[in-house]
Amino acid sequence: MLTALLVLIYLAFISLGLPDSILGCAWPDIHQSLGVSVSSAGIVSMTVSGCTIISSFYSEAIIKKIGTGKIIVVSVGMTAAALLGFSYIASFLWFLPFAVILGLGAGAIDAALNNFVAIHYKARHMNWLHCFWGLGATFGPVIMSFYLRKEGGFRGGFRTISLIQSGLFIILLFSLPLWKRIENRGDRSKTEAGRPVKTRLKKLLEVRGAKEAFFIFFCYCAIETTAGLWGSTYLVVYRGISSSVAAQWISLYYFGITAGRFISGILTAKFNNK
């Protein structure tokens, strides 16, 4: 039962990675199609990031209220709806409400799945989990590249990835009883062993090494996001490469991240966390 659910979790993380890498790949065509500045991608990206942070902060309360399974289903559905919306927009202003939906969905599913795996599975699965995110992030630009060569352009790419998300939404919807069974079993074991103590953010920051970990993660995310969002535009504007070829190059960037996480997953079997 745990193994079957783990497969679904891996699939969910692939779906989480798919939208994360395609905005930057499609932006050289999007900003021309909508008649906005190149820098407007930053507004969309920050909107998605800000809403991701908000939903992550409230994820604990939502998990307690409706459970992890329902959060995953709703979040994947929101992601699919946002991507479908991106494929039909006629002006930049319509980008922002769909960016809000995408960010809220992405933040909720990310926090909920990380929490679920940390509680119910061994630590090494966390590395594999984020490795599967990398697979989604790698294939996202490949899909977008295929459509950037066609007449529909970026709209076809967003629509196809939305369709993939919708398929996963249906699969996860039918898996809800499985999530509930495992969560109930976890609740019973917590009752027997004593429930974990809730720790406030201020207390967490006082843990030795916590501030340094936050800072390092901030720097890592800044580098990853900068390259992912602007890499394709740089290749198109300054190197004269077509947007479809640039998207393929960006997929290799995400493949590198995936390879690094795969190697990290192997090393965790040989070394402790420290």
Residues 77, 169: contact at Cβ < 8 Å?
Answer: yes
Rounded CA-CA distance 120/18 in Å is 25
Q: What is the pLDDT of residue 228?
A: 94
Question: Which tens digit of pLDDT belongs to each residue from 97-150?
Answer: 999 999 999 888 888 888 888 887 776 677 778 888 899 999 999 999 999 998
Other CB atoms within 10 A of residue 208 CB: 6
Q: What is the pLDDT of residue 123?
A: 67
Residues 123, 117: contact at Cβ < 8 Å?
Answer: no
Q: Strand runs (DSSP E) across the chain, as ranges?
A: none
Cβ burial 190-207 (10 Å sphere, 16+ → b, else e): eeeeeeeeeeeeeeeeee
Question: Which tens digit of pLDDT belongs to each residue from 1-25?
Answer: 667 788 888 888 888 888 989 999 9
pTM of the shown model? 0.87
Q: 93 is written with which tokens?
A: 């202003």
Residues 126, 117: contact at Cβ < 8 Å?
Answer: yes
- The single residue listed with the structure tokens 């580098």 is 223
Question: Which tens digit of pLDDT belongs to each residue from 155-213?
Answer: 999 999 999 999 999 998 998 888 888 777 755 555 444 455 566 777 888 888 888 98
Question: Which tens digit of pLDDT belongs to each residue from 71-94?
Answer: 989 999 999 999 999 999 989 999
Residue 151's pLDDT band (boundaries 50, 70, 90)?
A: confident
Question: Is residue 158 packed enough to be buried (19+ CB in 10 Å), middle (13-18) or exposed (0-12)?
Answer: buried
